[in-house]
Amino acid sequence: MWQLFYFPLCPFSRKVQLVLSEKKVPYTLQLAYPWEDDDRFHALNPAGKTPVLHHAERRLVLIDSQAICEYFEETESKSPLIPGSAAARAEVRRLTALFDDGLYGDVTEPLIYEKMKKRLILRQSPDSGVLRAAMRLTHEHLDYLDWLIDNRRWLAGAQLSLADFAAAAQLSVIDYLGGIDWSGHEQSHGWYRVMKSRPSFAPLLSQKMEGLPAPRHYADVNA
């Protein structure tokens, strides 16, 4: 069986969990905090980053969320998440990279640092200037999401795809950290409620980061 090394607020582990659930691939979870000395985890991934997916019986170690998703796209025909023509697939991958790199770098990463790492590890107060900049950039990203949803059924086109799961994974962490104000983003909010209601999303809504409670609305699929 596959074993996923993750921590609750790792957006890339969340992306992989969503894909494994959508494709009905069974797996177990193994907590691994990249900032802690964990010999077994670091032996699997010298880069020390989650997610890592390990299959002991098959002696397989998969690293990097996109490499993992492409692997299951190639090996599991159920629920294709990079569907369509080569051009349609390029659009799914463009948007997935935009959320994995752009939304993560602009918003998720600074929020994780300011609100999680400073509180739990460094015992420092968050920098309000950084938080304000992240909130501003969240609105810019949500504006773009609104535009996509105004023009397409799902983010990358007519079909639900990896782009939707990559975006929802980032937004779920941002929401956990109190970084989303949906006002003025009805389209994105509606789309996110639909994503949140999928059975594959339920495990994410129950995963809690110790010492850092989620806001009350976080796990409410109607909020």
Q: Which helix (H) or strand (E) holds 28?
A: strand 27-31
Q: How far is the CB of 115 from its own copies (least distance, A)?
A: 21
Instruction: Identify the residue among 80, 102, 126, 178 touching its own copies (CB under 8 A).
Output: 102
Site for its own copies in 160-219 (CB under 8 A): none
Instruction: Identify the residue among 26, 43, 57, 75 touching its own copies (CB under 8 A).
Output: 75
CA pair distance 95, 83, nearest whole angstrom = 14
Q: Which is nearer to its own copies, 103 or 177 (CB)?
A: 103
Q: Which residue has the tokens 């003025």?
A: 184
Which residues neighbour 41 within 8 Å (Cβ) at sequence distance 6 or greater? Answer: 5, 32, 48, 52
Q: Which is nearer to its own copies, 33 or 144 (CB)?
A: 144
Which residues neighbour 36 within 8 Å (Cβ) at sequence distance 6 or greater? Answer: none
Q: Which is nearer to its own copies, 46 or 211 (CB)?
A: 46
Site for its own copies in 12-71 (CB under 8 A): 46-47, 60, 62-64, 66-68, 70-71
Instruction: Identify the residue among 25, 98, 120, 131 touching its own copies (CB under 8 A).
Output: 98
Determine contact, residues 28/4, Cβ cutoff 8 Å.
yes
Q: How far is the CB of 216 from its own copies (least distance, A)?
A: 34
Q: Which is nearer to its own copies, 14 or 196 (CB)?
A: 14
As beta bridge partners, residue 175 has: none
Question: From the CB of residue 104, how many other CB atoms can be counted at a distance below 10 Å?
Answer: 21
Helices (H), the chain: 11-22, 39-44, 65-75, 86-97, 109-111, 128-151, 162-176, 186-196, 202-206
Taking alpha carbons only, the member of 169, 174, 176 closest to residue 200 is 169
Q: Which of the ranges 31-39, 97-105, 187-195, 215-223 carries the binding residues for its own copies, by CB under 8 A? A: 97-105
Binding residues for its own copies, how many (CB under 8 A)?
Answer: 24
CA pair distance 143, 122, nearest whole angstrom = 33
Q: Which of the ranges 32-40, 93-101, 120-128, 165-173 carries the binding residues for its own copies, by CB under 8 A? A: 93-101
* Contact track, its own copies, 116-155, x by CB under 8 A: ----------------------------x-----------
List interacting residues with its own copies (CB under 8 A).
Answer: 46-47, 60, 62-64, 66-68, 70-71, 74-75, 86-87, 89-90, 93-94, 97-98, 101-102, 144
